[in-house]
Amino acid sequence: MSDMAKRMSLVVCVCLPLLVGGSAVFYRSWAFLPFAGGALLGAALSIAKIIWLDRTVKKATGMEVQRAGNYVRAQGLLRFLLTGLVLALPAFAIRWGVPRSLFWGTAAGVLMHQIAVYSMKLSMKKSGR
């Protein structure tokens, strides 16, 4: 993994306990567990997407321009479909009696990827890269 991917994964790992702790304070009971499970699922997806993106960039740098562009677009579509699948599972599980907080925890965990990307953009802007 590249240094940037490690830092982005660290941002996700720092955000997860903050999110789970915030939900524990909000619920003030064991009812926060479905939200925490969803957040863990979303955070796992976020870290998987970071690793997948890092490997995509490494592989695309060795390809010709046209082929690399097609490869990166295909990988982006697959990451998008995986995100949709992970969000669809708890959404459909609501019909079977799973608490709605599982879906919202998953959505919050998925958004951690965007927070990690934004934090890298800010750090690159500050360092002048």
Once rounded to an integer, what is the mean pLDDT over residues 73-79?
A: 93
Q: What is the pLDDT of residue 102?
A: 87
Once rounded to an integer, what is the mean pLDDT over residues 4-29?
A: 91
Once rounded to an integer, what is the mean pLDDT over residues 71-89?
A: 93
DSSP 64-113: -HHHHHHHHHHHHHHHHHHHHHHHHHHHHHGGGT--HHHHHHHHHHHHHH
Q: How confident is the model at residue 129 (pLDDT cuts 50, 70, 90)?
A: low
54's tokens? 């890092």
Count of domains observed in the chain: 1
Model pTM?
Answer: 0.84
Choice among 7-21, 22-36, 95-109, 114-128 with the minimum mean pLDDT: 114-128
Report which of residues 127 and 36 the model is more confident about: 36
Residue 85 sits in which domain range? 3-127
Q: Above 80 in pLDDT, residue 81?
A: yes
